[in-house]
Structure 1
Amino acid sequence: MTDRALLDDLLAGKIPALARAVSIVENARPGFEGLLAALHPRLGAARRIGVTGPPGAGKSTLTMQLVSAWRRAGLRVGVVAVDPTSPFTGGALLGDRIRMEQVALDPGVFIRSMATRGSLGGITTSTREVCDLLDAAGFDRVLVETVGVGQSELEVQRMTDTTVLVLVPESGDGIQALKSGVMEAADVFVVNKADRQGAPKLRREIELALDLRAGRVARGGGHHGALGGARQRPDAQATPEGWRPPVLLTTAAKAEGIDELLAAIDAHWDAQSANGLLEARRRARLADRMHAVVGRAVDRWLWTDGPARELVAARLDAAARGATSPYDVAAEVLAAVREGVQV
């Protein structure tokens, strides 16, 4: 198949062409950047939703329920499941695809498991590029499920239109689970496995954390005023940005709470579209992509045609003796680049 034929078939939504394009992009085969560049003007129709959270939260089951609901509505759905990288093969372990086997055979569903390849947060540039392929191929919803460790919650927020953070009662202290900026990453909170003890308590803790962040907890009331006192909970449109993340209870294994989650995802899309934040979010995503793609190209050049490989090899013995340092070598590389010198 020629590059033009592959592009045409991909834009026509043909699954064999999509599968081939995903393989080309994921493995950075020759021509992958040209393919992505040709697709760029066709992007933007798909809604991108991230599902993230700690291991064992039931993300794959929840994802399966969302996919099934969207398919009943006649929507085509692409799923990118970010799996831990196998230490032996470097590839994804494919656990997510196995868990979602009930929908994997649906011709209106495309599921791809991708390896983290050691990326901070589990999200690589190629993960984002595979989402572009699904968008260009005409999928209405592109759902990204992450490994839910490290900074993945923040990473997935930067590559999607809506981020769903999934927690479970046994994940521990709800407030502790929401530290390190994770609060800001979530557009919708889900307490899954809500039939287990502690789910209402975790929900209250998340709502309290949201109120504290927004400065809406009533002051005073004694030692237990913030937790025990009556307070008015703002609705989802009460913040200056037009959106307060809802906190929902679901039991994905029983398909309970899925309709409410779907409604919240749609409501978030509508709110962003109305107040201009969707466009701003997508522009920020594009800026991130440009930074990543330029960085990848520069890095590739530095270590192939550029001076980095030769300088590092030449200075290794000196660095081992303590006569120079990695930082000095980096400065030499930059100086060589600026001067246009090839070592």
Structure 2
Amino acid sequence: MSIPEELWRRFQEGDPRALARALTLVESGHPAGRELLKRVRGKGRAKVVGVTGSPGAGKSTLTDRLILEARKRGERVAVLAVDPSSPFSGGAILGDRIRMMRHHQDPGVYIRSMASRGALGGLAGATVAALSLLEAFGFDRIFVETVGVGQSEVDIARVADTTLLVLTPAAGDAVQAFKAGVMEIADVFAVNKFDLPGGERIVQELKSALELSPPRPGGWRPPIHPTVAASGEGVEALFESLEAHHRHLVEHGLLEGHRLERARFEVESVIQEWGRQRTQGAGALVARVARGELTPEEAALALLGPGPEAEEGAL
């Protein structure tokens, strides 16, 4: 299906309502949305910052403050807030948009909540596709805030240029992050709500853990920033570290690798969604697996066609 020319014209002219319509087409998987993506891919180069961390860490409030810092520097900013989807209704909890309402009259800020759609990692492929639309629309910086559950931290590192992990002095928060392996993928750390007891202890634990973590590409050393998002304390220094990491990526020729990994993640997400849809309509096949008549691999082969093993055998 071709893109409505009126929509395409308005999108190119910078009409935010056309952007909203385009994002809806992409998120719903509409053929016109897919055609639109083909036109816009590679037409923008925004700085993409992933913001992740456990629920209650203050990610939305901190992102709100980072938006202010970006606007002080004249940047046009977009935010994709990935909200958890209900597994029953498919609806999302759009709380992040509420917490950033101060920017709703600023034409230089665009905030969009997107449902995770039950994606295993907390990020849907549509979220990644939306980045292409926002870049083509001309935004200078895009914040992607994740649900902070499951493997969303690992997923956001594959999508963003810079990954910001937000921790708090809350009991067990940092230890849980270490277990999840997030230490290896975060580029910048923020210990938010640093005015609460235990903030300095978290900073010391992070420093100790970073000494044991593998070296980062180009020799980058992740900085740790104490912040109090509610008052803005420490946010300017945090923003400067986000800028420093982007300069590091440019200087060491690492940005292109990030973009390729983002495309790989998007393709994998489409495959995962196709598999989920086909499995839902294959009750008889799934029942045969449950009875031991088929292996899961045989069932998957019947649903999706030859897999990697078949391709290797053909070489």
Counterparts in 2 of 1:107 and 1:277: CA distance versus 1, 3 Å: same
- Residue 146 of structure 1 aligns with which residue? 146
- Residue 46 of structure 1 aligns with which residue? 46
Q: 1:326: how far off? A: 4.8
Matched, 1:21 2:26: no
Contact 2:123-2:152 within 8 A present in 1 as well: yes
Deviation digits for residues 224-244 of structure 1 (CA, Å, limit 9, x no counterpart): xxxxxxxxxxxxxxx662310
1:166 is paired with a residue whose SS is strand
- Greater C-alpha radius of gyration: 1
- Residue 222 of structure 1 aligns with which residue? none
Q: 1:14: how far off? A: 1.4
State the aligned residue count.
307
Counterparts in 2 of 1:59 and 1:240: CA distance versus 1, 3 Å: closer
2:213 is paired with a residue whose SS is helix
Q: 1:279: how far off? A: 2.1
1:158 is paired with a residue whose SS is helix
Deviation digits for residues 22-58 of structure 1 (CA, Å, limit 9, x no counterpart): 1111111232111101111313x21100110001100
The within-5 A match list for 1:255-266 is 255-266=232-243
In structure 1, distance between residues paired with 2:157 and 2:138: 22
2:138 is paired with a residue whose SS is coil
- Residue 246 of structure 1 aligns with which residue? 223
Farther off after superposition, 276-285 or 143-152: 276-285
Deviation digits for residues 41-83 of structure 1 (CA, Å, limit 9, x no counterpart): 313x211001100011000000100111212222111100011
Q: Give identity over the alignment, percent.
A: 46
Counterparts in 2 of 1:317 and 1:51: CA distance versus 1, 3 Å: closer
Please, what TM-score do these two structures have when normalized by structure 2?
Answer: 0.87
Structure 1 residues not aligned, in runs of 5+:
216-238, 339-343
Deviation digits for residues 266-286 of structure 1 (CA, Å, limit 9, x no counterpart): 000111110112222222222
The within-5 A match list for 1:146-185 is 146-172=146-172, 174-185=174-185
Contact 1:82-1:146 within 8 A present in 2 as well: yes
2:118 is paired with a residue whose SS is coil
Counterparts in 2 of 1:80 and 1:240: CA distance versus 1, 3 Å: closer
- Residue 313 of structure 2 aligns with which residue? none
- Residue 265 of structure 2 aligns with which residue? 288
Counterparts in 2 of 1:124 and 1:249: CA distance versus 1, 3 Å: same
Contact 1:81-1:113 within 8 A present in 2 as well: yes
Please, what TM-score do these two structures have when normalized by structure 1?
Answer: 0.81
In structure 2, distance between residues paired with 1:321 and 1:275: 54
- Residue 29 of structure 1 aligns with an amino acid whose one-letter code is H
In structure 2, distance between residues paired with 1:184 and 1:330: 32
Contact 2:163-2:185 within 8 A present in 1 as well: yes
Matched, 1:330 2:304: no
Contact 2:3-2:32 within 8 A present in 1 as well: no
- Residue 91 of structure 2 aligns with an amino acid whose one-letter code is G
- Residue 98 of structure 1 aligns with an amino acid whose one-letter code is I
1:259 is paired with a residue whose SS is helix
The two structures, once aligned, show a CA RMSD in angstroms of 2.8
- Residue 33 of structure 1 aligns with which residue? 34
The within-5 A match list for 1:292-307 is 292-293=269-270, 295=271, 299=275, 303=278
Structure 2 residues not aligned, in runs of 5+:
311-315
In structure 2, distance between residues paired with 1:172 and 1:335: 44
- Residue 212 of structure 1 aligns with an amino acid whose one-letter code is L
Deviation digits for residues 274-329 of structure 1 (CA, Å, limit 9, x no counterpart): 01122222222223334444x269659x95xxxx899x466567667654455444
- Residue 198 of structure 1 aligns with which residue? 198
Counterparts in 2 of 1:117 and 1:315: CA distance versus 1, 3 Å: closer
- Residue 93 of structure 1 aligns with which residue? 93
In structure 1, distance between residues paired with 2:304 and 2:133: 35
Q: 1:251: how far off? A: 0.2
The match for 1:275 among 252, 255, 259 is 252
- Residue 231 of structure 2 aligns with an amino acid whose one-letter code is K
In structure 2, distance between residues paired with 1:3 and 1:278: 33
Contact 2:125-2:266 within 8 A present in 1 as well: yes
- Residue 140 of structure 2 aligns with an amino acid whose one-letter code is D
1:80 is paired with a residue whose SS is strand
Contact 2:184-2:214 within 8 A present in 1 as well: no
1:122 is paired with a residue whose SS is coil
Farther off after superposition, 323-332 or 65-74: 323-332
Which of the pair has the greater relative contact order for Cα pairs under 8 Å at 6+ separation?
A: 2
